[in-house]
Amino acid sequence: MSGRRLVTAALAALCLALEPVTAFADPGRDAQALAKQIDQLIAARWAAHKIQPAAPADDAEFIRRVCLDLTGRIPTILEARDFLDDDRPNKRHIWVEKMLASERYADHFANVWRVLWLPPVPDQTSNAGAFETWLRQRLAKNAGYDAIVRELLIAAPGDRGEVGPSIFYLANEQKPENLAASTSRLFLGLKLECAQCHNHPTAHWTRKQFWEFAAFFADLGTEGKANRQQLTIPGTKQVVQARFVTGVAPQLQPGGSPRATLAEWIAAADNPYFARAAVNQLWAYFFGAGLVEPADDMGEHNPPSHPELLDELARQFTAHRFDLKFLIRALVASRAYQLTSVLPLTPNRSPLRGEARSLFARMAVRGLSPEQLFDSLAVAIDWQEPPPRAQRSFVGQEDRSPRAQFLEKFANQDKRTESQTTILQALFLMNGKLMADATSLEGSGTLAIIADAESLSTARRLETLYLVALARKPRAEEAARLIKYIDAGGPRKDKKKAFADVFWALLNSAEFRLNH
């Protein structure tokens, strides 16, 4: 990092520190009350199972976790130091508000929702950038979740001015059956596609119900003609009319779009599925598992682990007009979110394993998404993406930047709590050009500044490396071992190269690749 950029970063950190707390005086009050309800309902289950939950996460663990969850990257060294040095009793709340007000929040959650909502169709990757841009604009304005979903479902390929949301239809090949499956799974939490060819094997959904729901999308491709709201079930002569999954027939307006009617019903405050599906998805994102798991397969056949909690979250989310930031504030303010990931102990002092995750007695260890991993590496090594890509979080097939190549290598992580690194990915991290440059004295500004700061003690420089990579200071046993290694110069008897070895080890550690 150049001297000018160091000064700029320091001034930016100072500006953040001087930001008035009164700007965040009121918006979190209801969220704090909901967080207390979350804690009471979760604690009741701990007591019923005689479980001692994990200890609270310390400040370093919390700031790294919440920064990854809200902004998609680890904290910078200035952010880490400022947070650890902040002695205000409500600093966690204050820093969460800063992140929710930042551009990084909208950038990151545009990526989160895009990955969740768009099926991975290779020939549509360039269009997906427009979809993410549309989401980013809505999130930056804190549009209600219901309004975003409603806009998404009303749009269709060919709708002028709605290029972004219309990608949802293109990615689902404009097929009524694909759109019915995606819409019900994402926005109702129902896997209706299991009833596409036969009645659902475990739930009560029938094949006829699936195709009645699909009939809402039968009007696609009929521009200039009367809208259709009926389909013939494949392989049969049975014609079905559009119906909601509740079995109620819609009141379609003459000449109106069935999809518009469906969108209004799905995003309505009294929809029995919509809010529950949304809060369950966000809970799964922040905790590694949903209150209903899998998060998109809700129903009587798959009851929630905490039914009262799911009901209360859905009720409050609806009452607050589907405000995503309100719900996020409540979740990250809860005791459950702020627990350490270290396994708690059972009454006989043995580690609790199986139930800890389903009862949220500790924070789940989650693999970073490809975007989180790259952007965290970029923060640690001070890598700057050249414009115009620097202002975008999405990359398409035509992009061969370091970020694009990295995301291509790491694009196979579906379940974050079961994240595994393939051999090719491990080799890319250990020996790839990006990592080689990042951990070389010639290619890394971060490392060069630390290694060259000979006026500082080895201990202080090692602490800086840890804050850069892991947002924490080294433990006593780590410091003792690594200071000895660095002072001896490592195998090459070169102190500066020994710093490079330590930095390489930190960036390749499981602690760096995981959110915990």
Q: Which of 260, 291, 310 is the last residue of a domain?
A: 260
Q: Which domain covers residue 247, as residue numbers?
A: 125-135+145-260
Distance CA 497, CA 503 (A): 10
Distance CA 111, CA 375 (A): 12
Please check whether residues 371 and 255 belong to one and the same domain: no
Single-letter code of the amino acid located at 426: A
Q: pLDDT at residue 18 above 50?
A: no
Distance CA 159, CA 164 (A): 10
Distance CA 165, CA 157 (A): 9
Q: Which residue has the higher pLDDT, 191 or 158?
A: 191
Q: Does 515 reside within a domain?
A: yes
Instruction: Read off the pLDDT of each residue in 308-326 and give the average, rounded to a whole number.
Output: 97
The model's pLDDT over 454-507, given as tens digits with 9 standing for 90+, comes to 999 999 999 999 999 999 999 999 999 999 999 999 999 999 999 999 999 999
Q: Which of 245, 260, 275 is the last residue of a domain?
A: 260
Please check whether residues 397 and 510 belong to one and the same domain: yes
Q: Does 456 reside within a domain?
A: yes
26-40, 214-228, 302-316, 403-417, range with greatest mean pLDDT: 302-316
Q: Does 285 reside within a domain?
A: no
Q: Does 317 reside within a domain?
A: no
The model's pLDDT over 278-291, given as tens digits with 9 standing for 90+, comes to 999 999 999 999 99
Nearest to 514 by CA among 366, 323, 315: 366
Strands 239-241 and 366-367: unpaired
Task: Look at residue 194 in the predicted model and tell me its pLDDT.
Answer: 79
**Structural contact between residues 165 and 138, judged by C-beta atoms closer than 8 angstroms:** no
Q: pLDDT at residue 328 above 70?
A: yes
CATH number of the structural domain spanning residue 475: 1.10.3130
Distance CA 371, CA 45 (A): 35
**Structural contact between residues 296 and 191, judged by C-beta atoms closer than 8 angstroms:** yes
Look at residue 163 and give its three-state secondary structure: helix
- HEC string of 47-64 equals HHCCCCCCCECCHHHHHH
Please check whether residues 247 and 372 belong to one and the same domain: no
Distance CA 479, CA 485 (A): 10
Please check whether residues 241 and 379 belong to one and the same domain: no
Distance CA 313, CA 391 (A): 34
Q: Does 321 reside within a domain?
A: no
Q: Does 75 reside within a domain?
A: no
Average confidence score pLDDT of the chain: 84
Q: Which of 260, 290, 311 is the last residue of a domain?
A: 260
Backbone angles phi, psi at 32, to 5 degrees: -65, -40
Residues of the chain with pLDDT > 70, as a percent, come to 80
Task: Look at residue 1 in the predicted model and tell me its pLDDT.
Answer: 43
Please check whether residues 253 and 380 belong to one and the same domain: no
Distance CA 380, CA 511 (A): 14
Instruction: Read off the pLDDT of each residue in 236-264 and give the average, rounded to a whole number.
Output: 89
pTM above 0.85, yes or no: yes
The model's pLDDT over 369-378, given as tens digits with 9 standing for 90+, comes to 889 998 998 8
Taking the CA atoms of residue 80, residue 84, residue 86 and residue 92 in that order, the dihedral angle to the nearest 10 degrees is 80
Q: Does 381 reside within a domain?
A: yes
The model's pLDDT over 166-201, given as tens digits with 9 standing for 90+, comes to 899 988 988 999 999 999 999 999 988 876 776 666
- Overall number of domains in the chain: 2
Q: pLDDT at residue 42 above 50?
A: yes
Task: Look at residue 299 in the predicted model and tell me its pLDDT.
Answer: 86
Please check whether residues 514 and 372 belong to one and the same domain: yes
Please check whether residues 375 and 254 belong to one and the same domain: no
Q: Does 83 reside within a domain?
A: no
Distance CA 336, CA 445 (A): 38
Could you give the C-alpha distances from 239 to 50, 197, 216, in angstroms and in order?
A: 55, 15, 13
Look at residue 97 and give its three-state secondary structure: helix
